[in-house]
Amino acid sequence: MSEPNVPQKAPYVEDLEPGTYAWCSCGRTANQPHCDGAHKGTDFKPEIVKIEEAGKVAWCGCRHSGKGAICDGSHRNL
């Protein structure tokens, strides 16, 4: 599998309502951090995340988090 693009070395922090979200795993989307289909033709697929409660979410911006879509601070090591 190829390496993802690194759009930023920090999380994308959003206030979200409950719902289902598609996080971009390839880093190519124009709608960071959400998937817009830019992964087509690559080995990447969006990660579907279900948010149960309204609140802040720190989406991974570097695409290297050990927690998938959720930032774990891995950007500090890039």
Asked, for residue 7, whether it belongs to a domain, the answer is no
Asked, for residue 45, whether it belongs to a domain, the answer is yes
Tokens representing residue 14 in the block: 């959003």
Tell me how far CA of residue 71 lies from CA of 33, 41, 42, 49, in angstroms: 11, 26, 23, 13
Confidence of residue 1 (pLDDT cuts 50, 70, 90): low
Asked, for residue 66, whether it belongs to a domain, the answer is yes
Provide the whole-model pTM.
Answer: 0.93
The DSSP secondary structure of 32-70, one letter per residue, reads TTB--STTTTSS--PEEEEE-SSEEEEE-SSS--TTTTB
Domain span at residue 56 reads 12-77
Check: CB of residue 65 under 8 Å from CB of residue 24: no
Asked, for residue 57, whether it belongs to a domain, the answer is yes
Asked, for residue 73, whether it belongs to a domain, the answer is yes
Summarize pLDDT for 18-72 with one digit per residue, the tens: 999 999 999 999 999 999 999 999 999 999 999 999 999 999 999 999 999 999 9
What is the domain count for the chain?
A: 1
